[in-house]
Amino acid sequence: MLFHFLFTLLVAPLHAAYAGAGPSDYHERLLLRPLPQSALLASFNFRSNTSASAFDQQNFRLFPRSLGQILQHTNTKELHLRFSVGRWDAESWGALPWNGAREGGTGVELWAWLEADSEEQANAQWLTLTNTLSGLFCASLNFIDSTKTIRPVMSFQPEGSHSESSLSSLHLLHGTLPHEVVCTENLTPFLKLLPCKGKAGISSLFDGHKLFDASWQTMSIDVRPVCPADGSECILEMEQTVDMVLDIERSKRPRENPIPRPGKMEDLVCDSSKHYSAYGDACYPLHRSSDPTWSLTEVFGRPIKGSCHLADLSGEGSETICINVPPEREVRVNTSSSFSEHRHEDGFLRCYKLSNGDDFDLELPDQTLLVDTPLPQPHLYAARSINGYGQERGSVQAVINNPSTTSAIDFVYLESLPWFMKPYLHTLHASVSSSSATNATSGAVENPIVETYYRPAVDRHRGTHLELLLSVPPASTLTLTYDFDKAILRYTEYPPDANRGFDVAPAVIRLLSPKEAKASRGAYLRTTSLLLPLPTPDFSMPYNVIILTSTVMALGFGSIFNPLVRRFVAADEVASVGPGGLKGFIRAKFTRLVARFASKGTKSQ
């Protein structure tokens, strides 16, 4: 409860800053939050606005033209794109930094509201959108075809303000690529969309080496129309976020020597109270009780190169760097120019305002802390796994745990399954087990499934779309299971790369009941993706056969073709050609010339 209170205290001012469109059209903010086990959450947020009229007239200033034109061409009214790697460790790191509203599941996820008259038209526009975005972001988004596209019913709501009349013609389409590996080639186009392009401001911290060495990392792009309540002109807001959890120890390793070799004996902190420590050759390593020392330069490989001059220079929006540490934690600022520090009331949040131009670095020395930063706790924990073994069938088990002792949580569970994974809906079974004995009697839920939306798969045309409205009582665990069959693919349907199995997209969980979840962004949770091994032929066999037959054909063809095109000359004829070499060549030419003249002579006679 205390955590929740502190969390609201702590995050409220942050979020208030984003609530309305400020005077300026570009905002950026970095939130740093040290996490347990020497991890560090760095949450970058960039927002740029453009007025609807300027957008319609293709008058792009802060809004990137490349993306804007794609949106206009495909009639996309609202767009959400996620690139993620790794997984969020909710047990140690607490709730997601944006409550899941800006974080994606493993791989790439895209959903958008397209304006179209019919479903076919929406599909065609969606195809254009995925293909153009694929080019823009160097991702395989073009592989989001009809088999990977669903039209969610309950899981997503438009974030932006759309008029009632336009809502009816908006189509929501959602596609995922769980196997897409996000890497530097996706970061570069992402940076290009920013006004300061990674040259100044907080985006200057982006270094592919550090960013993609993170334990968890997600990038998102959200475009939505925002119409102020006072009736003034609507604006189009583009929000880009990059969230990552860095391992401080790992990030601090120098680039020349990134190998984590065993440390020197002197560096080990040993427990000297052990009876064997007297022998001198044994060391029971102790856990470091103090917070590790780190600085922005060490963790990100470079300092912040001043502020982006396009951003707000006054007001709360100008506090571009915030760090979430206990009040007694010492934070040194290394910069040659002026800066201002602002501590928020509860003391757990400090924000800094940067000046133009000069390098800015934060340094946190080694310090033993008495109070830990309270971490916001998640409302739900979710884990999903494939059970069973063999090539024929299996079952999926999703375990969703509600840690709250007081409030039940309603949520929507969305599964988008590939067509070759064929679930049996009659085996869908949800059971609730209470972790505390007292709740077992009071919160006896007969069937936690309140509502089911199911669209079965069609082989090779569309995947399964399953949406469930569920409710989990306080302090209990909901186990959702269903069985499935594995289809046998045609051999051309296997991807050309090494076949480790097929990835199943993460399940999306949308929280409905707690108050915070009612915000326009919503609160989400995503499980990890699954690996679905399918019966796979040994592809080396056909290739062996192809290679062997090709060799045989080449040999056969060569030996037949060779005598066919060769001119055979008898041995005695060869001798008449005479000696080789230059001398022979000249002599042959000469004799031919002589012969020609001789023949002319005979003709004339």
Q: Which of residues 358-387 bind other proteins (CB under 8 A)?
A: 383, 385-387
252 binds other proteins (CB under 8 A): no
Considering the complex, state which of residue 135 and residue 501 has its C-beta at the smaller distance from other proteins.
501
Considering the complex, state which of residue 158 and residue 533 has its C-beta at the smaller distance from other proteins.
533
Which whole-number Å values give the CA distances from 156 to 111, 124, 599, in the listed order?
9, 21, 96
* Residues facing residue 244 across a β-bridge: 42, 217
Residue 230: DSSP 8-state:
T
Helix, strand, coil shares of the chain, percent, nearest 5, are 30, 30, 40
Considering the complex, state which of residue 30 and residue 182 has its C-beta at the smaller distance from other proteins.
182
| Beta carbons within 8 Å of 100's beta carbon, 6+ residues apart | 511, 522, 523, 524, 525, 526
Which residue from 12, 167, 265, 547 is in contact with other proteins, where contact means CB under 8 A? 265
Q: Which of residues 143-202 bind other proteins (CB under 8 A)?
A: 178
What x-and-dash track marks residues 437-476 binding other proteins by CB under 8 A? ----------------------------------------
Cβ neighbourhood burial of 67 (10 Å; 0-12, 13-18, 19+): buried
What x-and-dash track marks residues 199-218 binding other proteins by CB under 8 A? -------------xxxx---
Considering the complex, state which of residue 252 and residue 344 has its C-beta at the smaller distance from other proteins.
252
Task: State the nearest-atom distance from the C-beta of 387 to other proteins, in Å.
Answer: 4
Alpha-carbon distance 598 to 605, whole Å?
11
Task: State the nearest-atom distance from the C-beta of 134 to other proteins, in Å.
Answer: 21
Which residue from 66, 72, 167, 284 is in contact with other proteins, where contact means CB under 8 A? 284
What x-and-dash track marks residues 498-517 binding other proteins by CB under 8 A? xxxx-x--------------
Which whole-number Å values give the CA distances from 202 to 87, 279, 546, in the listed order?
24, 51, 55
Which residue from 388, 556, 578, 584 is in contact with other proteins, where contact means CB under 8 A? 388
The alpha-carbon radius of gyration of the chain (Å, integer) is 33
397 binds other proteins (CB under 8 A): yes
Helix 65-73 to helix 119-137 angle (10° resolution) is 160
Considering the complex, state which of residue 273 and residue 492 has its C-beta at the smaller distance from other proteins.
273
Taking a C-beta distance cutoff of 8 angstroms, is the pair 482, 451 a contact? no
Residue of 407, 251, 350, 312 whose CA lies nearest to 46: 312
Tokens of residue 506, six digits: 């993460």
Q: Which of residues 521-560 bind other proteins (CB under 8 A)?
A: 528-531, 533, 536, 538, 540
What x-and-dash track marks residues 16-55 binding other proteins by CB under 8 A? ---------------------x------------------
Tokens of residue 462, six digits: 């569309």
The H helix count followed by the E strand count for the chain is: 14, 27
Considering the complex, state which of residue 181 and residue 512 has its C-beta at the smaller distance from other proteins.
181
356 binds other proteins (CB under 8 A): no
Considering the complex, state which of residue 389 and residue 568 has its C-beta at the smaller distance from other proteins.
389
Phi, psi angle pair for 569, to nearest 5°: -125, 135
* Residues facing residue 480 across a β-bridge: 398, 430
Considering the complex, state which of residue 261 and residue 567 has its C-beta at the smaller distance from other proteins.
261
Three-state DSSP at 243 gives strand
Alpha-carbon distance 488 to 495, whole Å?
14
* Binding interface with other proteins (CB under 8 A): 37, 85-87, 89, 91, 106-107, 178, 212-215, 247, 249-250, 259-265, 267-268, 270, 274-277, 281-285, 287, 383, 385-390, 395, 397, 497-501, 503, 528-531, 533, 536, 538, 540
